[in-house]
Amino acid sequence: MLDALTLQLGYNATLVALGATALGLAAGTVGAFLTLRKRALVSDAISHATLPGLALAFLVMVSLGGDGRFLPGLMLGSALSAAAGLWVMGWLTRRTRLTEDTAIGAILSVFFGAGIVLLTVIQTLSTGQQAGLEDFLLGATAGMLRSEALTIAAGGALVLAATLALRRPLLIAAFDPGYARVTGIDTDRLDRALMLLVLAVTVTGLKIVGLILIVALLIIPSAAARFWSESAARVVAISGGIGALSGYVGAALSATAPDLPTGPLIVLTASALFTLSLFAAPARGLLWRRA
Amino acid sequence: MSPFDVARQIHSPLSVQDLTVAYRGAPVLDGIHMTIAPGQMTAIIGPNGAGKSTLLKTCLGLVSARSGLVRFWGDPLPRQRARIAYVPQRASVDWEFPARALDVVMMGLYRDLGLLGRVKAQHLDRAQACLARVGMEDYATRQIGQLSGGQQQRVFLARALAQEADLYLLDEPLAGVDAATEAAIIAVLQGLRDAGKTVVAVHHDLSTVEAYFDRVFLLNRHAMAEGPVATTFTRATLARTYGGTLPGH
């Protein structure tokens, strides 16, 4: 276990840890903006809405005679179905009297249900390679390919760069949307960009964290970070750091215990850091408030 | 429009023609005409629900109009955005947000900094100077929710000052603030006016209109009267605007 934490893992496991760190950094950073904008739960709808696309992409790739588990193909399928989910959710909120939380609940369950049906269909097919698609529910890094780890690291880096480029308008719009619009910030477009970044992080994280728990990696780091600072810039940075540390430690732990799914290990690490922040963060932690 | 009207519109920092706004079918503003005089302090007054905030928000594109025209120096809003500063109602903000007073003022520099521009010492100095103008220089690192209502309002005014605009639109800047803040805010606004800027504020306290403002615009769903305080802020126009419910005047 100490070997794992100090990266005495061998080349492959090191790459996996690198991918998980990049993913955690990106998720923590995007997640901070998402929670500041008070739309944290949208990420739950997005992540569950990936499942039908994931399963359909698998079926399409197999029927074309390819490898059903080719990661970029699965990511594309997931992204398309999550985008469809987002679009329907937006339509329900705008065009009907349903509120966003209702739309989130509806999209989450309908898409996830459809995805589970498709997964079951896939399991009854005798393609010989269906095993492993369930890994995308809770994440698994055992036997991960180098190219997959690198794809994930690159995806995380891209999302991080795009998020940081938008940090100023994102913060102004989260704090004071009316003022932001008068200043010339198109808040509708900005919100769509934020949703796209959340979608990108979700799809990037499918293999490592899994679609059920990615929402935790988006929300917990920023919740923990809020205890450490009153400055939004620092909250975002700390949130990214907590996400990165969770990704790294979780992936390293998973390397020593390949039977455990990786997603829960990463999320439990993040939760431990949250608990630490809740009690021990200077000035705002519970331990300091009592004193 | 006559050539005279066109000239007046180009000259006016904010002019509104035949503006109608409806909420769920019911008109909130009905056929409003308004021409704000440049270099003056104008109060928009009227009873609760008269549409004062809605008028400001519609001018700024935050509420969509059913019909009518809004012009800033004769242009539509997007062409003159850089010259306009807006101070929203205090209630519109999340006070738990991790932002310190200086962070809020720095938001006023967004149009200068852009997406990726580096924050330099001159930007921080400018923000700090704006805090000083509203007497808040000692609270720069205080989280915004830990300030009193009056202090919060001053920080928002400082953010508007940081924009170095020509037109200042304020939505109830004196609502729920202490006497010291009220005096400080009015002093800053009058300073802007004396420097040739235009100030428009939604105002609710009829007893201070004459002391603080140059002009009034009386509103109650319709435009009731507009002009210099001395000639327009009269018992007759007030009675017409407020109906039978004239509050203590």
Q: What does A140-170 look like in DSSP terms, one character per residue?
A: --TT--HHHHHHHHHHHHHHHHHHHHTHHHH
Please list every residue in chain A whose beta carbon sits closer than 8 Å to the beta carbon of residue B202: none
Task: Fill in the amino acid letter for A208.
Answer: I
Give the tokens for residue A181: 């619009």
Tell whether the model's pLDDT for residue A4 goes beyond 80: no
Task: Count CB pairs under 8 A between chains A and B.
Answer: 70
Tell whether the model's pLDDT for residue A177 goes beyond 50: yes
Closest partner CB to B115 (pick from A165, A179, A183): A165
Please list every residue in chain A whose beta carbon sits closer than 8 Å to the beta carbon of residue B143: 230
Q: Does B81 touch chain A (CB under 8 A)?
A: yes
Residue with token string 């519970």: A286
Residue A201: exposure state from Cβ atoms within 10 A (0-12, 13-18, ≥19): buried
Q: Tell me the pTM.
A: 0.91
Please list every residue in chain B whose beta carbon sits closer than 8 Å to the beta carbon of residue A171: 99, 107
Give the tokens for residue B22: 């409806």
Say which DSSP state A39 is in: -
The Cα-based distances of B193 to B102, B168, B188 in angstroms read 25, 10, 9
pLDDT for the residue B249: 46
Q: What is the pLDDT of residues B98-126, one digit of tens each?
A: 999 999 999 999 999 988 889 999 999 99
CA proximity to B14, closest of B242, B230, B198, B216: B198
Task: For chain A, positions 11-40, list CB contacts with chain B under 8 A.
Answer: 36, 38
Q: Give B32's pLDDT tier (boundaries 50, 70, 90).
A: very high
Q: Does A184 touch chain B (CB under 8 A)?
A: yes
Tell whether the model's pLDDT for residue A186 goes beyond 60: yes
**Phi/psi at A259 (nearest 5 deg)?**
-75, -25
Contact B86 A235 (CB under 8 A): no
Give the closest-approach CA distance of B21 to chain A in angstroms. Answer: 18
Mark A120-141 as b/e (b = at least 16 C-beta within 10 Å). Answer: eebeeeeeeebeebebbbbbbb
Tell whether the model's pLDDT for residue A140 goes beyond 60: yes
Give the closest-approach CA distance of A179 to chain B in angstroms. Answer: 7
Q: Give A129's pLDDT tier (boundaries 50, 70, 90).
A: low
Q: Give A141's pLDDT tier (boundaries 50, 70, 90).
A: confident
Least confident among A216-220, B16-20, B23-27, B206-210: B23-27
Tell whether the model's pLDDT for residue A257 goes beyond 50: yes
pLDDT for the residue A290: 62
CB A115 within 8 A of CB A55: yes
Give the closest-approach CA distance of A30 to chain B in angstroms. Answer: 16
Confirm whether the ipTM is greater than 0.85: yes
Give the torsion sign (CA, A225, A231, A232, A233).
Answer: negative
3-class secondary structure, A88? helix
Q: Give B163's pLDDT tier (boundaries 50, 70, 90).
A: very high
Q: Which helix (H) or strand (E) holds B227?
A: strand B222-228
Give the tokens for residue B5: 């009207």
Q: Where are the domains of chain A?
A: 2-279
Contact B99 A175 (CB under 8 A): yes
Closest partner CB to B93 (pick from A171, A175, A233): A175
Q: Is A229 left (phi over 0), alpha (psi -120 to 50) or beta?
A: beta
CB A33 within 8 A of CB A172: no
Which residue out of B94, B95, B152 would a mutagenesis test of the A interface target, given it has the greatest number of A Cβ atoms within 10 Å? B94
CA–CA gap between residue A214 and residue A220 (Å, rounded)? 10
> Is domain A2-279 in CATH 3.40.50.620, yes or no?
no
Give the mean pLDDT of A152-167: 96
Helical segments of chain A, H only: 2-5, 11-36, 42-48, 50-63, 71-95, 100-124, 135-138, 146-165, 167-175, 177-183, 187-205, 214-225, 232-256, 262-280, 286-290
CA–CA gap between residue B233 and residue B206 (Å, rounded)? 9
Report the side by side order of strands in the sheet with B14-23. B26-36, B14-23, B67-71
Q: What is the pLDDT of residues B49-91, one digit of tens each?
A: 899 999 999 999 999 999 999 999 999 999 999 999 999 988 7
Tell whether the model's pLDDT for residue B6 goes beyond 90: no
CA–CA gap between residue A174 and residue B24 (Å, rounded)? 27
Q: Does B64 touch chain A (CB under 8 A)?
A: no
Q: What is the pLDDT of residues A193-223, one digit of tens each?
A: 999 999 999 999 999 999 999 999 999 999 9
Residues 6+ apart with CB under 8 A from B102: B124, B127, B128, B131, B140, B141
Contact B97 A38 (CB under 8 A): no
pLDDT for the residue A282: 86
pLDDT for the residue A7: 58
Give the mean pLDDT of B24-31: 90
Q: Does B139 touch chain A (CB under 8 A)?
A: no
| Cross-strand pairs, B225 | B218
pLDDT for the residue A256: 86
Tell whether the model's pLDDT for residue B147 goes beyond 80: yes
3-class secondary structure, B28? strand
